[in-house]
Amino acid sequence: MPSPDPSATETVVHALIQRRLTIAVAESLTGGLLTAELTSVPGASAVVLGGAVVYATELKRTLLGVDAALLAAEGPVHPEVARQLAVGVRDRLAVSGRPADIGVATTGVAGPDPQGGRPVGTVYVGVASDAGARSVALALTGDRDGIRRQTVVEAVRALADELGITGV
């Protein structure tokens, strides 16, 4: 099962430091793994504002502002939910009234069972910045732990893409 590439994570965190950009993280299926991965890099405290684990569907709405009608209609595993989580965490984890420069979010089905009609391995990574917000759809394979680890790898890759970093 793949583990995050420490050099990829270091590259992303160092780019954030060099550009003086802050980041906030919203996690569902990864349960804090992405925040832990980012903060494993020395110096990350200069750019990682914090993370919110919103595992319960209701917390996605109450803490991070995901639209209640969207959650009722589509459930928590949906590309627009990932996008709204990234936007919400960016705004809600503001420091001194200043939102994070980048918000990143994970939501999906790690297994072992499908959720809301979505098969195991259905994952969405949301990214939000001043340039806009988007989500990346993933169809991952493996066991529960493997899917969670792959999600972290793909989220780091999405951050690299957002920062214009190639080869990560």
* Mean pLDDT per 10-residue interval, the chain, length 168 residues: 77 98 99 98 98 98 99 98 99 98 99 96 99 99 98 98 93
124 assigned to some structural domain = yes
pLDDT at residue 3 in the model: 65
1 assigned to some structural domain = no
Closest to 23 (Cα-Cα) out of 148, 124, 154, 156: 156
End-to-end CA gap in the chain = 18
Q: How far apart are CA 53 and CA 55, in angstroms?
A: 6
pLDDT at residue 17 in the model: 98
Work out the widest C-alpha separation in the chain, in whole angstroms.
Answer: 43
CA dist list (Å): 96 to 62, 91, 92: 21, 11, 11
Q: How far apart are CA 28 and CA 65, in angstroms?
A: 14
165 assigned to some structural domain = no
Residue 7 CB neighbour total at 10 angstroms: 9
Burial of residue 75, with CB atoms counted within 10 A of its CB: 0-12 exposed, 13-18 middle, 19 or more buried: middle
Q: Give the residue numbers spanning the domain of 120.
A: 6-159
The CATH number of the domain where 116 resides is what? 3.90.950.20
Q: What total number of domains does the chain contain?
A: 1
pLDDT at residue 2 in the model: 63
24 assigned to some structural domain = yes
164 assigned to some structural domain = no
33 assigned to some structural domain = yes
pLDDT at residue 152 in the model: 98
The residues with which 50 forms a beta bridge, in sequence order, are 24
166 assigned to some structural domain = no
> Could you give the strand order of the β-sheet that contains 132-139, starting from the edge strand earlier in sequence?
48-53, 23-27, 102-108, 122-129, 132-139
111 assigned to some structural domain = yes
